[in-house]
Amino acid sequence: MRQPTQPRRVVVLGSTGSIGVNTLDVMARHPDRLRVHALSAHSRMERLAEQAAACGAPVVVVPDDAARTRFIAAWRGATLPEVRVGAQALSDTAADTQCDMVVAAIVGAAGLPSALAAAHAGKRILLANKEALVAAGTLFMQAVRDKGAELLPIDSEHNAIFQCLPHHGPSASRAYAPAQPAAGVRRLLLTASGGPFRLTHPDDLHDVTPEQACAHPNWSMGRKISVDSATMVNKGLEVIEAHWLFAMPPERIEVLIHPQSVVHSLVEYVDGSVLAQLGNPDMRTPISYGLGFPDRLESGVGMLDLARAGRLDFDTPDFTRFPCLRLCFDALQAGQNACIALNAANEVAVQAFLEGRLPYTWISRVIEASLEWQAGRPSATLGSVEDVLAVDAAVRAYSGNLGLA
Ligand code: NAD
Ligand code: MG
């Protein structure tokens, strides 16, 4: 395997989250290839201080002065890292000349400006933050193309599809942001576990608790994406994400329920061939793929025991049981203002649900009402990240008043 002469320097945005922790786990296995340049977190400064001390991060980014004080108080390492403060510092750090790769693992639209800054700076971007693409697909992909950034999807389904797509010719060793669907591809098939309520009767969903919604059968993830998996908003956001990443028209993207989460997604070609990527449900596989591409890195993920799994099941999704999935397809058809509204309303509703202010079944109602409200407004031109964030803020203000206790 080719060894780079200098370790590549990595910025991990959202290092204290589920993706961030898995990223640091993989990186610690390859100190000769990969080195942390900067870490960021929004809360849990003690955890951030532990991480920064363990990996020797020269820079950390925290949200405000109070967090900076907490970080310094929690510091137990040798030399204190440079502590940068605020949202602008996140974007500036993602564009630092000393950094080669940015792991975009902040949750929600809050991660958009820094992910976009990494694209503008022409970095290799390991994109976990799907909300950035949902809210700003055109802007983001255009920046990747214009600046020659390298975009590697970390979401397991998109990473699977990326691995199953053809990588031929002179660009084979570089990730790419295509302007049209790959030649010979007929359909993309995104698998979905169906989450914790796959078999729950719809009448029993009204009273489910955040703990029940976050108890995903196969994956251990942050709370917001866990709720998104329960409602299947997550799969809907992933359909939109796939549309942008692979320049694929919505009608050529399908969702397939696969409860075991072993087949991470599939690509169907015009000759009838279907290529799939399989593996244990462990995010260290797609993360190590992105960190090492085009090489393969040891990730700590165990061997797949298909004989033990015994069987792999597949089914079509039930749009009645999962109304949010239909709303996501509708938003994609309606355009980017609708996608911003979908994402913003969902973030507001999920937060309210997690805080006990909104019943579970109201998440879809808040999204639907917000999409209707947005459809009644003139569409904004989305030429900049500020334009996107203005629509996002207007929708949040509207949906924040819907049915919240
Ligand atoms: P998480 O909640 O575990 O972690 C989120 C991280 O972002 C934390 O470090 C937190 O401090 C930081 N953060 C939160 N709000 C912030 C803000 N306003 N500004 C700056 N930083 C902020 O989330 P996660 O599960 O790691 O997911 C991160 C992203 O990756 C999400 O977009 C999610 O959809 C995507 N993703 C996650 C998984 C998974 O297995 N966890 C899989 C695929 C995609
Ligand atoms: Mg996924």
Domain ranges of the chain: 8-178+281-292
Which fold does the domain 8-178+281-292 belong to in CATH? Answer: Rossmann fold (3.40.50)
Identify the pLDDT of residue 402: 87
The ligand placed nearest to the CA atom of residue 216 is 1
The ligand placed nearest to the CA atom of residue 128 is 1
Reduce the DSSP state of residue 39 to 3 states and report it.
strand
Distance CA 194, CA 235 (A): 9
Mutate to test the pocket of ligand 1, among 46, 106, 396 (most ligand atoms within 8 A of CB): 106
Q: What is the pLDDT along the chain (405 residues), one digit of tens a residue?
A: 555 579 999 999 999 999 999 999 999 999 999 999 999 999 999 999 999 999 999 999 999 999 999 999 999 989 999 999 999 999 999 999 999 999 999 999 999 999 999 999 999 999 999 999 999 999 999 999 999 999 999 999 999 999 999 875 556 667 778 999 999 999 999 999 999 999 998 889 999 999 999 998 888 899 999 999 999 999 999 999 999 999 999 999 999 999 999 999 999 999 999 999 999 999 999 999 999 999 999 999 999 999 999 999 999 999 989 999 999 999 999 999 999 999 999 999 999 999 999 999 999 999 999 999 999 999 999 999 999 999 999 999 999 988 764
Spell out where 86-194 has E strands. Answer: 101-104, 124-127, 150-153, 185-192
Is 242 within 8 Å of 155 (Cβ atoms)?
no
Identify the pLDDT of residue 202: 87
Identify the pLDDT of residue 144: 96
Identify the pLDDT of residue 404: 60
Identify the pLDDT of residue 217: 87
- Three-point CA angle 338, 131, 13, nearest 5°: 155
339 CA to middle of ligand 2, Å? 18
In which residue are the tokens 């802007």 written?
A: 139
> Residues lining ligand 1, CB < 6 A?
14-20, 41-43, 105-107, 110, 128-131, 155, 219, 221-222, 224-225, 283
Sequence-separated (6 or more) residues with CB below 8 Å from residue 273: none
Beta-strand pair 101-104/82-85: unpaired
Identify the pLDDT of residue 219: 83
Identify the pLDDT of residue 133: 97
Mutate to test the pocket of ligand 1, among 19, 21, 47 (most ligand atoms within 8 A of CB): 19
